[in-house]
Amino acid sequence: MDTIDQQLLKIRACFDLDTLLSTEIDGAYTMSYYSKLSKWYRLLHSKEGAMHFPLYLDEASDHHAALHVPANRIASVIRSKVTQSQRSIKVLELGCGHAYNSLYLSQAFSKQPVEFTAVDFTPNNVKWANAKVKELGIDNLRVVQADFEALTKDFGQFDVVFATESLCHARNVERLFRSIQEVLQQEGQLVVFDGYCTKSAAEQSDKEALASRLLAMGFAVETFAAIEDWIQLGKEQGLSLMQKDDISAAMLPNLQRFQSGSDRLLSYPRSMRFLRSLRLLPELTARHLIAGALAAPLLEAGVIAYYQLVFEKL
Ligand SMILES: C[S@@+](CC[C@H](N)C(=O)[O-])C[C@H]1O[C@@H](n2cnc3c(N)ncnc32)[C@H](O)[C@@H]1O
């Protein structure tokens, strides 16, 4: 029995999987998840508002530095656009959450001709981010409530579009890429940090499919897209892949901590079922525990992988 089997056994002892898996994870579910949990992310994960995983890469030695890794990598893409261009550069963040990345980048580029826009569809995230923009006196960032699957040319034309751990929530990937292609300038770049299945649905074993679906559910994601299918859909919308880095190993230190916390609670199945029967364990917390139990084993087994992707609109 491998680690994924062992984790599934623990989960089955605590939860009724059929009931769990019957939930429809659509846009309304995702928005309600973030409406309820964003404040907990600020309390337990990052008081500055990051909602993505820390990446232990590029000599990042602590949680704070590791949370800045995606933004620092995006900054290099922006810097090269600034160097190549005679005009002001426009940058758009998709699914910005509290705009942690855009707040950081807009301050880093405050003395250069770069204008930032960030969108998110969860109203309280946008409200929190706008309060921060005001508090910090930032004048080169606007945060707007919008669905990143429904942007049109009128929204603006951007030289760099980026997203950290938000595009996995897209309900329709073709629609998402059409939306991005509407707002990305010719030769503009799309930079993505996110998790994907390494195999298509047809190639996964039943166990892999079940475990990755439970993992996705814990993060309010319908299903993690298969990486090659996702890249192909981008290509069909005129976005050519320039860079694909598997940086899964950089996630593991944090995911292993997440797993040991979840495992501790899941080792008391009777208490878990009792607490749930009395509704003392909130549903979203229960689902998060399941994600915690499965994320590291699925990454270690290579079923799920985390990538930095860079596309260019040709
Ligand atoms: C895991 S959080 C990541 C937030 C931010 N990128 C970060 O790294 O801190 C995902 C965010 O995507 C947003 N989101 C999900 N689907 C969206 C959509 N269709 N349009 C806009 N925002 C969306 C959620 O509201 C949430 O704030």
Instruction: Name which residue sits closest to atom 27 of ligand 1, judged by CA.
Output: 97
Give, using CA atoms, the residue closest to atom 26 of ligand 1. Answer: 97
Q: Give pLDDT, residue 250.
A: 95
Residue 157 pLDDT:
98
Q: For the sheet containing 89-94, what is the strand order?
A: 141-145, 114-120, 89-94, 158-164, 184-197, 304-313, 239-246
Nearest CA to ligand 1 atom 4: 97
What is 3-313's CATH topology?
A: Rossmann fold (3.40.50)
pLDDT of 89 reads 97
Q: Are 201 and 226 in contact (CB under 8 A)?
A: yes
Q: pLDDT 10s digit of each residue in the chain, 314 long?
A: 899 999 999 999 988 888 888 889 999 999 999 998 888 888 888 889 999 999 999 888 899 999 999 999 999 999 999 999 989 999 999 999 999 999 999 999 999 999 999 999 999 999 999 999 999 999 999 999 999 999 999 999 999 999 999 999 999 999 999 999 999 999 999 999 999 999 999 999 999 999 999 999 999 999 999 999 999 999 999 999 999 999 999 999 999 999 998 888 888 888 888 877 777 677 787 888 999 999 999 999 999 999 999 999 98
Which atom of ligand 1 lies closest to the CA of 31? 25
CA 144–ligand 1 middle distance (angstroms): 12
Residues 6+ apart with CB under 8 A from 16: none
Whether 64 and 58 have beta carbons less than 8 Å apart is answered as no
pTM of the model: 0.95
- Residue 93 C-alpha to ligand 1 middle, in angstroms? 10
Q: How far is the CA of 119 from the centre of ligand 1 (A)?
A: 8
